[in-house]
Structure 1
Amino acid sequence: MAFSIKRTTSTHPDFVELVRHLDAELSEINGNDDAFYAQFNKIDKINHVVLIYDDETPIACGAIKQFSNAAMEVKRMFTLANYRGKGAASMLLQELENWTKELNYEKCVLETSKRQPDALALYGKNGYQIIPNYGQYIGVENSVCFEKFIA
């Protein structure tokens, strides 16, 4: 499959639509914990969004936003179910890392859930290391935080 990459912002309608699918899936996965996580997943202030397309069809999304002077946080990673396992998520992550480097940050950090084995495998496969939970995720049993130095 030949996927294409597009950089945009969180106002792009394809991103908004993919995030709608992501939120529905996360609501199912997180159950009663969903409201806690949802408060950290607003998209109105995200200026660095990557979309992956199969021809004209948007199939995956992800974003970065400033976490610290040295780090960007990877947010809102999602691939449509029928496209999983085909390399789109790794391609997306690589583009987010490239953008992070271009913006002169030295690492990416992110949080995902123990209930998402595919996500855990994706980040491990792409060189991310588990770190102690940061910020709002400190003490959250279900959260797993990662970082990757890219400078």
Structure 2
Amino acid sequence: MVYCDTDGENADFALLCKNLDQTLDEIVGVKFQRSQYEQYNQRDSIHDVIVVYQDNVPVGCGSFKMYDEEHAELKRIFVEPSCQGVGLGSEIVRRLEAKAKIKGYQWCILETGELLQAASHVYQKLGYKVIPNYGQYVDMPESICMQRRI
């Protein structure tokens, strides 16, 4: 696996985000149910991205953006189904945390959904704890927010 540091304009990141959205639509339901989240997942506000390649093919990604001075918000973490189950998602999160720490953040926060049990399990295994829903997710009961000190 090759890990590439890039930004939200990267074409392979855009492709993986499209695949992530399709996967979420399949798991969570029709686009209508997820439409309220789209405004919070725009790539133009994301500057710290990791894209993972296997044999020159993009197979995973993740990113973070500034939430506030102390908190980096993890966004758009995805691993293609053919590469799941081998710890790639965990490695992406660890690398994002390391980048965020170098930039001076003390915490990583994230939002996932109650139907995304596999993702929640990975985050909990990495030491993330459920917190009250923050920011735009306060009034979204199907959201699960988590944080971890880095």
TM-score (norm 1): 0.94
Whole-Å separation in 2 of the counterparts to 1:24 and 1:51? 18
Whole-Å separation in 1 of the counterparts to 2:8 and 2:51? 10
Please, which runs of 5 or more residues in structure 2 have no aligned partner? none
Q: CA distance change for structure 1 residues 9 and 43 in 2, over 3 Å: closer, same or farther?
A: same
Deviation, structure 1 residue 37: 1.2
Deviation, structure 1 residue 27: 2.2
Aligned to 1:16: 14
Give the root-mean-square deviation of aligned CA atoms: 1.0
Aligned to 2:100: 100
Map of 1:99-118 to 2, 5 A cutoff?
99-118=99-118
- Structure 1 vs Structure 2: percent identity of aligned residues? 35
Whole-Å separation in 2 of the counterparts to 1:61 and 1:16? 10
Q: Secondary structure at the match of 2:40?
A: coil
The more displaced of 97-106 and 22-31 is 22-31
Whole-Å separation in 2 of the counterparts to 1:78 and 1:101? 21
Deviation, structure 1 residue 29: 2.7
Please, which runs of 5 or more residues in structure 1 have no aligned partner? none
Aligned to 1:7: 5
